[in-house]
Amino acid sequence: MKEKIRIGSGAGFSGDRIEPAVVLAANGQLDYLVLECLAERTIALAQKRKLSDPSLGYDPLLTRRIETLLPHLVKNKITLITNMGAANPLAAAKKVQEISRSLGYSIRIAAVDGDDVLTEVEEQKEHLTVLETGKKLSEYSILSANAYMGVEGILEALEQKAQIIITGRVADPSLFLAPMMFEFGWSSLDYHLLGCGTVIGHLLECAGQLTGGYFADTEKKAMPDLAHLGHPFADVFANGDAVLGKVENTGGSITLATVKEQLLYEVINPNAYLTPDVSANFTQVKLAVSGTDRIQVSGGTGNEKPSNYKVSVGYRAGFVGEGEISYAGDKALERARLAGEIIRERIKIFTQDIRVDYIGWDSVHRKNFRPDYEPYEVRLRVAAKTDSMEKAILVGEEVEALYTNGPAGGGGVRKYAQEQLGIVSVLIPRSTCIAKITLFES
Amino acid sequence: MKLADIAHSRAGDKGNISTLSLIPYDEKDYALFVNEVTVAKVKDHLSGIVKGEITRYEMPNISSLLFVCEEALESGVTTSLASDPHGKALSYALLEMEI
């Protein structure tokens, strides 16, 4: 059993930058690199891509990420754990096998799936209640259903000595917790240690958010060299404590303040942060500075895991059309408002769900907390839900038509239309889905 | 003064819920926040944005408060028509509050 492992966090979302992960793999002296690349909607979008081409449905950046990282992973003997498999971990693993062969490496790759429960959810939809709305799931036009799985599949892949582990929908902190359990021999019933590990995973999972990226402000929260922001790692100890850090000479910083912001990020109950592995408790977590860009984390704990799996169900939610146009100079806001009223009148014959925003005035917060000035320029934004793509396109076309049929001086029209993919959640018994691993050699 | 002068915040989203942390730059201000930044005041400040209940968690271990705001995201990230569907910018809406 090891006493300490180092886990790096090289991506915090599907579109994240690749360079900080390369720096971690090359110079971070890592044992493990985790790339967290799946959000609720990301997997539904991936399912949609898989429907149009069964060989796709994994992370669109997978090839670029693996081609860039693999030489460092092989050279430095780092195990990669990532949910870039998205809707199709098997195809992703095959892709990695192909890349590895072309680079001449001999490695073992594991695909972890079992999270796709569309068939089971379709069968049960009359009896499943949507957590967010209380409606029956059968009222939705279901496209995908993926359960948030825990550490089980990753643990099995680690036991099989896979160096690249590619999963589908796994809870974000589980990607980090699995190597801790494997290396330190933590039991899946030791909820105290699983709570500690989940706190560490939660702190790491958004990568650059911990190192000052999404933290930075201009004065009180100024951060050095943000253009070369580094991503974090944690030195995790067998007792569940950790020290967070980052590679020297990378931008950003890890401070008590950056760690506090991340600890509370997306937490809806700090007494019970639910994952498939544990109900983690954040209320006794202690943070202490232990060096430059080094923060010690201790005091995490936890209770018994939930008895159900949470499932993200993607459904067809109609269509959305948008259009934008700008006004500047004298009475810009009033002209934008006039244009907004004209559009509302013109499109209300085919949509009742209309949102009109004045960008530069109150669009972002949906409220203006400092209304005592006249804005020099304002951008009108109209968005509306429709029941067909044709009508969604019409929304933008009506905004564009303000060029000749609306108030003076409108410019810079942009228009968009897309099908909307909604996500809701249901709970299913744990016995409904079993993690499955498939090994590939290159 | 505005909260922005003495505290920082990050917004998170889960479905139609927005989570807003409130972290004083100086840990000594935590007690002041516990007394001054009440659920009632935050509800009033965010009226028109947050339509549901607000729960406040006190986190003395990190000298911070956490506000969990229900019905705050115009139905949630995947179906909202808002220009910031995650409500990522709402941290700075909280920091506009005067105390």
Give pLDDT tens digits along chain A (442 positions).
Answer: 899 999 999 999 999 999 999 999 999 999 999 999 998 878 888 988 998 899 999 999 999 999 999 999 999 999 999 999 999 999 999 999 999 999 999 999 999 999 999 999 999 999 999 999 999 999 999 999 999 999 999 999 999 999 999 999 999 999 999 999 999 999 999 999 999 999 999 999 999 999 999 999 999 999 999 999 999 999 999 999 999 999 999 999 999 999 999 999 999 999 999 999 999 999 999 999 999 999 999 999 999 999 999 999 999 999 999 999 999 999 999 999 999 999 999 999 999 999 999 999 999 999 999 999 999 999 999 999 999 999 999 999 999 999 999 999 999 999 999 999 999 999 999 999 999 999 999 9
In the numeric block, which tokens belong to residue A73?
Answer: 């992973």
Query: B15: closest CA among B66, B71, B65, B56?
Result: B71
Alpha-carbon distance of A195 to A299, in angstroms, equals: 9
Q: Which residues of A touch B93 (CB under 8 A)?
A: 365, 367, 369
Cβ A365–B62 below 8 Å, yes or no?
no
Name the residue facing B21 among A264, A366, A385 (closest C-beta): A264
Alpha-carbon distance of B13 to B20, in angstroms, equals: 9
Nearest chain A residue to B71 by CA distance is: A132
Q: What's phi and psi for A48, nearest 5 deg?
A: -65, -40
Name the residue facing B64 among A41, A44, A260 (closest C-beta): A260
Cβ A283–B14 below 8 Å, yes or no?
no
Model-level ipTM above the cut of 0.90? yes
Cβ B14–A266 below 8 Å, yes or no?
yes
Query: Read out DSSP for A65-128?
Result: HHHHHHHHHHHTTPEEEE-TTTT-HHHHHHHHHHHHHHHT---EEEEEE--B-HHHHHHHTTT-
Q: Are strands A164-167 and A79-82 parallel, antiparallel or unpaired?
A: parallel
Report the predicted TM-score, pTM, of the whole model to 2 decimal places.
0.97
In angstroms, the separation between the Cα of residue B5 and the nearest Cα of chain A is 9
Count contacts between A and B (CB, < 8 Å): 112
Query: A317: closest CA among A441, A199, A424, A230?
Result: A424
Cβ B74–A366 below 8 Å, yes or no?
yes
Residue among B78, B80, B91, B98 with most chain A CBs within 10 A, to mutate: B78
